[in-house]
Structure formats: C-alpha cells, structure tokens
Structure 1
Amino acid sequence: MINKENIYSAIIGGVTADALGVPYEFTSRYEMNKNPATGITGYGQYNQPPGTWSDDSSMTLATMDSLKNGINYTDMITKFCSWIFDAEYTPHDEVFDCGNITYDALYNYRSENMNPLDCGLTGEHDNGNGSLMRIMPAILYANAAELIPEEKMEFINNVSALTHAHPISQASCNIYRFIVDEILENPEKDFKELITNGIDKSRKYYENDDFPCFDNIYGNLFGMDDEDLSSKGYVVYSLEISLYTCYHTTSYKEAVLKAVNYGGDTDTNAIIAGGLAALYYGYDSIPEIWLEQIVKLDYIKELCKEFYNSF
C-alpha cells in the first residue's frame, strides 16, 4: 500500500510547506491579504534565509528517524530531546522556534526522568498543534506495518501523547489519520471525496458529546466562509484549516499558499495541509523552484529513503 513516492511526497511536501510559512508566522490575516505569499521567501518573523524549515519539520524528521527502527517511544522522545536541547534535526544547527507545551513535555523527560508516555501535557488548554504537525510519519508507518484499526488508533494516540496527551490532540491526529488512510487506499478517487470519506469514518469515535470541538468538522466546515476560520495554534483550528484548504483547492501549490495566506500559525497550518496535498497530488506537484531552495534537501531525501527501506 505504501510506495516510495508516498513517503517522499508526504514528508517533503510537508517540509516545503513549512518553509513557505516560516517567514509569515504570526502575521495577521489583514496583512497577508495585503501582501499574500506567492512562493518561498526568507527572513521575516525569524530572520531565517529562504528554504528554512521550523520545529514542525524537525520533529517530523526525528519521528521518521526513530520509526525506521520500529516503535520505541523512549527512542522517539529521546530524539525529540536531541532536537530541542542539542539542535539535531535542524536546518542551520540551531533551534529558533519551539512551542511551550512541547518544551515542557520534553523537559519532563530530560530533566524529570518521567516515563515517555507520561510526559505529555494533559490540560484542556494544552491542545496546541504540536503533535498534529509531526504525526505524518507515524501514520505512514502504521499503514506500512499493516496495523489493525485499533492498533493504529492506540499508536497514533501514543505518539501524540509524548508531548500532547489530551484526548482532543490525540483525536485530531487520528481524524487526520483517517484521511491519510483514505488517500493511500484509494488514490484514484477525487480528493474532496477522500477527505469527506475519512471524516465520515472517524465519526463513530469523535462525533459525540465528549468532543464538541469537532462540530465544524462534522457539520458545515466546507460550507463556511474563509473569515469564519481561525488560523491560531489550537489543534482543532489547524485541522480545520488543513482540511478546508485541501478541499477548496485543486493543486498542492494552491492548497499550501491558501493555508499560509490565512496568517497566524502559518508554518504549522501549511505543513499539515501540505502533507495531505502532496500525498494526494504526488511529488511532482511540489514546485521545483521551491524544492531547489529547501535547506538540507538531500539529507531529508536520504532520511525518507532510509525510512522507506526499513519497511
């Protein structure tokens, strides 16, 4: 079910979208409407050169690097710590961005010696998008390993819980997983149909009184107006943005630019949308002129190759 292009498309499509969004992070929607992103640029919010990707991609790469040796949550969180504390998996050997929830969880492991699956924060206000942004390699692995549905759900919950252990974060990762599964299983179908099919398959788990936060996703999300969507860093908002932009566009380029041009948490919203869009449209849908600017692209490709060869 998984082929090499699936890995390259989803991972590098996500990293490229992340780099697209980095200079614009925290820019208002009003400012983005006045000066919309049209391609890879540099400097901006973090004064980083063009093609620089953020913590989103660093943690994605660390996840992939761990999973090429199988499921080992201690190894995975150790690799996350190598990123945040030792600047591994970074574009320029420095960490320039990290979410507070993620930092606190990794501190719990590195300094407090907590069990990996107990490190993630569990409060209702701890539902940033920091696990959803890095979940793609885990979803790809779950499919390659042919885990049964119950095992997939538990595995995705656990990978999220290393930093984000609240049920809303875990559910968001699994709703996204249902849609990735649909793309992998039915690549010939229309993208809109695959998105709605994935949402429908997740309904029996999350369309209930325990998860009113998903009312838009299970309601009229795709009929909403742009101005009704929030681009802040709450995980449900990022999930909504990624699904909405993929649903209402017809190419990878269009999807990720739309995600960035909402402003707000531009890099994270873009990597989540970009992983889906590139997985569906294929590696060749990623503009070559963008790929040429991605920092350490050969390193990322080699890690993708190693990940695929481990299956």
Structure 2
Amino acid sequence: MTDRSDRTVGALLGVHAGDALGATVEFDSWEYIRFRYPDGVREIVGGGVFEWPPGHATDDTDLTRAVALAYLDPGDDVVLAAARLMLSWYEGDWPGRVPGRPPVDVGGATEGGLRTFARTGDPDGSGAGPGRAGNGSLMRCIPTALAVRERERRIRESVRISAVTHSDARCTVACAAYNEIVAVLVEGGSAAEAVAAGVAAARELGERSVVAAIALGERLDLAELARTGVTGLPDDGNGYVLDSLALAVAAVLDFRDLSDVLIDIVALGNDSDTNAAIAGGLLGARDGASSIPDGWLSVLQFREEFTGIAAEFARR
C-alpha cells in the first residue's frame, strides 16, 4: 500500500530509473535492441553511446534535479532559480563532472535557451520559439507537480519553467498537462482520473495538439509496440515532445508493473532514456518508490538526494 510520501519519492526516482535504464540503448533502433536484448533491457547496466556508469544521471535526471533544487530554495522567483541551476549544470558546476566541463548530452534547444539566459539573465525570454518542440522540458518538469499544491500556480510555473528553453506551446502545455496528471496521482487518484486532469489543462490552455497526443496515448498498447516495433507515433519516439507525452500516458494507463512497462518503452529505441524517464515519472507517481526494483534503486546516482528532496516536498 502506497501513501503520498511514497508516491512523491516514486515520481522523482521513477524519472531517474527510467533515464538510467534507457541510457544503455539511447539512439539505438528497435531492431538492434531486439537483437542485442531479446528479453529487453532488464537491468541498469550503463554504457550506451556516452558510456555512462550504471545508474549515472543523463541530462534528463540532471535537469530534473536542477528544477527540484530550485523549489527547495526558490528565492523571489522559482523560475529564475531553476534557470540559474540549469545554467550551472550547463557550465560544468555539477556533481559527478570535472569542474567547468560541459555536459556531453545537452539538446540543441536546451543549449540555446541556456546560452540566451546566460547573456540576458531573463528566464522568460530565453526559450526556443515556435517550431522547436523537443522533449527537453517535459523530461525535467515533474518537481513542479510535487512541490506546488495550488493548481493555478502549478500550471503557470510548469509553463514558465518549460519556456526557459522550450517555449513552443506544444512543449509548455505538455508540461502543464503532464504535471496535472502527476498531481492527481500523488494524491491517490486513479490513472484515468489523472489523465482526465491532463486533458482538462491542455484544453484550458487551448493546445489541441496536446489533447490529441494524450488521446493517442490512451489507444497505445505498449506490449504490442515493443513486440512489433511499430509505434504509430509522428516521430517514432525520437525526441518529439508529443511522442514522449503519448508514451507516458500509455504507460500510466498500463495495468502492469512499473518495471515491465519501462522495459517495453526502452525496447522501442530512439530517444529511449528520455521516453522512459518521462514515463517513469508517471509510473512512480502512480505506484510509489516501493514499486521500483531494488536492483535499479541501488545504483541510482541521486537516490538518497532525491529521496530527501521528495520527503521535504511531502512535508511541506
């Protein structure tokens, strides 16, 4: 039996675990993964194109950490605090990195947004504009859902933190809808109730493409996708924000255990770590940290820190 505290911890660690599981085969094809891992990637073993140590954070987890830390000490503006922490990550002031060495895995829109913020100091005017709709803000947005209980403020800050790097409405509204799903889940609502809350937020913000992506996710059968490699997604799960949102919705509506669902998402390949991180956040919020295999948890770089951050969010 899970409680709100366990689900809050689960949301953060679900992002971390999905990220670390998928990093092994990031950018690989379904065909290659099927050949190399016929039963799926079932353990967090590291490696991949960037040769990650097992459980090491990629940009997905690192930037989630940046947003989470901003909510612990927001100052006058949590969005400004988040932008500054993300810039610290980009400039090499980050655990597990040689000081001053930039990340190896920064996305184009994220890099552009952070470089603009470094020049202007304005977090509200730095993001890539319309036409840049990658999943780089959706992957890091979950701390807002865990830290903010007031719906209006939660939606507003979801949009603004996305727009530091990703200001296309598909990105900002996807973050708001995703965080409404998380907020219902951590309070003990059902997956169906949570998805309905996400749809309501997307409709309220007037972004029909996000509504359509959620509807697509409601129709996807992840076990079948993993078996055939045929996703039916607009960009085949290769970094488009609405592909990642649809997969996450499919994941949270899947009745199976968190591990089985994430293994199937990773099996699809392409942007496997980010897709699994985004889905892992919803699954962890649904099922709690107790649903994540001990063997996965034991190697996560920020396990203890994320557990402490989530405990503070739950206490507040």
The TM tier, using the shorter chain, reads 0.7 to 0.9
2: CA distance, partners of 1:278 / 1:220: 18
Amino acid at match of 2:55: G
Q: Which residue of 2 aligns with 1:198?
A: 197
Preserved CA contact (<8 Å) 2:124 2:160: yes
Amino acid at match of 2:271: D
What percent of counterpart residues are identical?
24
Superposed displacement of residue 211, structure 1: 3.1
How do 1:74-85 and structure 2 match up within 5 A?
A: 74-85=80-91
Q: Which residue of 2 aligns with 1:215?
A: 212
Whether 1:170 aligns to 2:169 is no
Whether 1:38 aligns to 2:42 is yes
Residues 204 and 301 (structure 1), Cα distance of their counterparts in 2 relative to 1, 3 Å cut? closer
Whether 1:131 aligns to 2:137 is yes
Preserved CA contact (<8 Å) 2:113 2:164: yes
How do 1:230-245 and structure 2 match up within 5 A?
A: 230-245=236-251
**Match of residue 127, structure 2, among 120, 125, 142:** 120
1: CA distance, partners of 2:306 / 2:187: 25
Contiguous gaps of at least 5 residues in structure 2: none
Q: Which residue of 1 aligns with 2:293?
A: 287
2: CA distance, partners of 1:217 / 1:7: 23
Q: Which residue of 2 aligns with 1:98?
A: 106
Q: Which residue of 1 aligns with 2:65?
A: 61
Tell me how large the CA RMSD over aligned residues is: 2.4
What is the aligned length?
298
Residues 74 and 181 (structure 1), Cα distance of their counterparts in 2 relative to 1, 3 Å cut? closer
Which secondary structure state, in structure 1, belongs to the residue aligned with residue 10 of structure 2?
Answer: helix
Preserved CA contact (<8 Å) 1:19 1:53: yes
Residues 219 and 282 (structure 1), Cα distance of their counterparts in 2 relative to 1, 3 Å cut? closer
Residues 104 and 299 (structure 1), Cα distance of their counterparts in 2 relative to 1, 3 Å cut? same
Q: Which residue of 2 aligns with 1:15?
A: 16
Whether 1:273 aligns to 2:279 is yes
Preserved CA contact (<8 Å) 2:135 2:240: yes
**Match of residue 180, structure 1, among 179, 182, 185:** 182
Preserved CA contact (<8 Å) 1:91 1:295: no
Residues 184 and 27 (structure 1), Cα distance of their counterparts in 2 relative to 1, 3 Å cut? same
Deviates more, 1:37-46 or 1:99-108: 37-46
Q: TM-score, structure 2 length as denominator?
A: 0.86
User: C-alpha offsets along residues 217-253 of structure 1, whole Å, 9 cap, x if unaligned?
Assistant: 3367415663113211010011011111332341111
Which secondary structure state, in structure 2, belongs to the residue aligned with residue 44 of structure 1?
Answer: coil
